[in-house]
A and B are shown apart, each in its own frame.
Chain A
Amino acid sequence: MIQLKTMLNCIDNSGAAVVECARVMKMKRHARIGDRIIVVVQKQRNFSESGPGASIATSAANKVRRGDIRHAVVVRTKKKWQRPDGSVVKFDDNACVLINKAGEPIGTRLNGVVGTELRKMKWSKILSLAPMHL
């Protein structure tokens, strides 16, 4: 159940670590796996630990910065989701993948399992990047 102000983990290598949901697109309810949302980047990856030399490298590698407003796709939810065959899936965290406005992922790699509902929602590019889907 991703809604306004929900904090999500970002599991791609775009540079964002934690993002906050700012809007759920095209619907008036909360977002589920496969839904598109608009997020604000709250925390960058490897930002605090990098030294003065590394900060330049990090900022070059990071495609997004803190405060950026981006589109994203929800890939895991804490809320249980019942599949048509009766099985129910529930993850321990809420996670998303940043995408551009055309719907292509900003990062090039994903680390972490994603929900199979993405296939139904036509996010096959994200599914192919993911190391595992369930």
Chain B
Amino acid sequence: MATATPTLRPLACWKSILRHSRQQKAITRSLTTLRAPERTAAPASRNSLPPVWQKLKVYPPPPSAAAASREPIKDFTNDQLRILDPTRARTNLFSKGNPEGAKVGDILLVRLKDGEPFAGVCINIRRRGVDTGILLRNQLTRVGVEMWYKIYSPNVEGIEVVQRKEKRARRARLTYMRKPKHDRGSVENIVYQYQRMKAGLRSKEDSNLGGKKKGKGRK
């Protein structure tokens, strides 16, 4: 009988079902002359069939990512910035709207986790979300050196403004500073003075506090 057919093989099952229904049809056709066909017979037989179609579970489509966020790249950038710059100090330092922020032409000092700090005139700020970088130029042993640093890099410990440019630079990129006529030369002396001044301020603070924070100084 059709009820005994295993449900695991639907195609073979269908074959037997069809055969069964064909036989039933033949029976009903032959019996039409004897009595009226029962209305309830056909649905009853259908219900007794194995419920193959009920076994297939239909899942709803996954929620659309496009609907969840209108600008996924912007959201991702913000997520990354939240991780890399939790205090938003770097973002503020290099944001365009901040009048106190670093601008091109300023002398910046980048302290690194491994290696010596690098100072130089900032001649370019490349604002690209997480990939934001600054180009610093300096002269070491009378050889011009330029370094790009990513401001959100985990390797960058801190960025300090050593000296601001008196007048706002009228260019976005001060690449003319590579020419000998405009070259600022070595900024070593300015950075040295700044560090000494800062150390002086710190020691004064320490003496005011009773030398409590002596161990917390910069390396």
Known: A134-B118, A134-B140. A113 touches B153 (CB 8 A): no
Q: Are B143 and A87 in contact (CB under 8 A)?
A: no
Q: Are B155 and A113 in contact (CB under 8 A)?
A: no
CA distance A76 to B118 in the complex (A): 17
A93 to B, closest residue via Cβ: B143
CA distance A132 to B147 in the complex (A): 15
Judged by a CB distance under 8 angstroms, whether A5 is at the interface is no
Judged by a CB distance under 8 angstroms, whether A67 is at the interface is no
Judged by a CB distance under 8 angstroms, whether B144 is at the interface is yes
Q: Are B153 and A86 in contact (CB under 8 A)?
A: yes
> Which residues in A have their C-beta under 8 angstroms from that of B147?
87-90, 134
Q: Are B140 and A87 in contact (CB under 8 A)?
A: no
B84 to A: closest C-beta gap in Å = 12
Q: Are A87 and B145 in contact (CB under 8 A)?
A: no
A22 to B: closest C-beta gap in Å = 24
A113 to B: closest C-beta gap in Å = 4
> Which residues in B have their C-beta under 8 angstroms from that of A89?
145-147
Q: Are A87 and B141 in contact (CB under 8 A)?
A: no
Which of A85, A86, A88, A112 meets B143, CB within 8 Å? A112
Known: A85-B155, A134-B118. A111 touches B141 (CB 8 A): yes
Which of A86, A88, A113 meets B140, CB within 8 Å? A113
> Which residues in A have their C-beta under 8 angstroms from that of B155?
85-87
A116 to B, closest residue via Cβ: B115
Report which residue of A93, A112, A113 has the largest number of chain B beta carbons within 10 angstroms of its beta carbon: A113
Q: Are B140 and A132 in contact (CB under 8 A)?
A: yes
Judged by a CB distance under 8 angstroms, whether A91 is at the interface is yes
Judged by a CB distance under 8 angstroms, whether B192 is at the interface is no
Which B residues, 146 to 194, have Cβ-Cβ distances below 8 Å to chain A? 146-150, 153, 155, 178
B148 to A, closest residue via Cβ: A88
Q: Are B148 and A87 in contact (CB under 8 A)?
A: yes
Judged by a CB distance under 8 angstroms, whether A49 is at the interface is no
Known: A87-B147, A89-B147. A132 touches B141 (CB 8 A): yes
A113 to B, closest residue via Cβ: B140
Q: Are B143 and A113 in contact (CB under 8 A)?
A: yes
Report which residue of A86, A112, A116, A132 has the largest number of chain B beta carbons within 10 angstroms of its beta carbon: A86
Known: A111-B141, A113-B141. A87 touches B149 (CB 8 A): yes
Judged by a CB distance under 8 angstroms, whether A103 is at the interface is no
B6 to A: closest C-beta gap in Å = 61
B32 to A: closest C-beta gap in Å = 87
CA distance A134 to B145 in the complex (A): 9
Q: Which residues of A contact B (CB under 8 A)?
A: 76, 80, 82, 85-93, 95, 111-113, 116, 131-132, 134
Q: List 18 A-B contacts (CB under 8 A).
A: A76-B143, A80-B148, A85-B155, A86-B133, A86-B148, A87-B147, A87-B148, A87-B155, A88-B147, A89-B145, A90-B146, A91-B143, A92-B143, A95-B143, A112-B141, A112-B142, A131-B141, A134-B145
Given contacts A92-B178, A112-B141, A134-B140, 4 further A-B contacts (CB under 8 A): A86-B148, A86-B149, A87-B148, A89-B145
